[in-house]
Amino acid sequence: MEKRILKSVEKSHRELYLMLLARDPEYFWGNVNTIVGDPFKETSLESLKVPESVLYFESALKGNKTLKKLEISGHADFGRGSFSNIPTLKKVKGEFVTVVGENAFKNCENLEEVDMPRVIHLCSGAFKNCKNLKLLDMPALTRIEYGACEGCENLKVKCYPWQVSFMENYFGSERLIMASNKDTRTYLEQLRANTAREFKEKQI
């Protein structure tokens, strides 16, 4: 697929971007599938809804000072630090997002709500130092990379612990809670079965 890129623009043109986005979002996004650089830096943007056509971000809104709400409609991939260092960001929604990239929301210290039910992979530093984040409800999660949630002192991740690989140093098993209470018995039975098998193998 041909890249159609929205990238860094001069400061004097940034508010013009916002006016066009507000007046005719379909036209604004019509020729864009990749966002790089800082096209929205130092603007008064408070809410951004990104359409399905956008497939890739790289440092897209890094360091923005006004954004409070972000909604991603499609399956977009996040490049390094795409939404990092946004002190005002409080809510993120991405129904079809499956991977939260490296340092994607690092240092978004006021982030409180993340709605991404299809995420399977948290990359290194994904939510690092998001101090106000209390819960990630991610039942599809299978991988948490080293330091993905470092500095999130009160965070719990709602998932199925037996299907998740994680790094103990910054994200111990005590942070993983059952996605559904009805699965607790299945989990415990599987855990006992695995333990019994390992013991038997050692005896052999």
**pLDDT at residue 119 in the model:** 93
Which tens digits make up the pLDDT trace of 54-87? 888 888 888 889 999 999 998 888 888 999 999 9
**pLDDT at residue 120 in the model:** 92
Q: Is the pLDDT of residue 135 over 60?
A: yes
pLDDT-derived band at 129 (thresholds 50, 70, 90) equals very high
pLDDT-derived band at 176 (thresholds 50, 70, 90) equals confident
In the chain, % of residues over pLDDT 70: 78
**In which region does residue 125 sit, left (phi positive, over 0), alpha (psi from -120 to 50) or beta (all else)?**
left
Scan for tokens 């809670």, then name that residue. 177
Q: Is the pLDDT of residue 169 over 90?
A: no
pLDDT-derived band at 108 (thresholds 50, 70, 90) equals very high
Q: Is the pLDDT of residue 183 over 90?
A: no
In the chain, % of residues over pLDDT 90: 33
**pLDDT at residue 178 in the model:** 75
Best CATH choice for the domain 5-203 from the list 1.10.260.40, 1.25.40.10, 3.80.10.10, 3.30.565.10: 3.80.10.10
Q: Are strands 77-78 and 56-58 parallel, antiparallel or unpaired?
A: parallel
- CA torsion sign for 14, 20, 25, 27 is negative
Q: Is the pLDDT of residue 5 over 80?
A: no
Please check whether residue 5 is in contact with residue 34, taking contact to mean a CB–CB distance below 8 angstroms.
Answer: yes
Q: Is the pLDDT of residue 29 over 70?
A: yes
CA distance 35 to 81: 13
pLDDT-derived band at 93 (thresholds 50, 70, 90) equals very high
Q: How far is CA 169 from CA 75, 135, 144, 177, in A?
A: 30, 19, 12, 18
Q: Mean pLDDT over residues 24-40, rounded?
A: 78
Q: Is the pLDDT of residue 155 over 80?
A: yes
- Residue ranges of domains in the chain: 5-203
Q: Mean pLDDT over residues 136-145, rounded?
A: 90
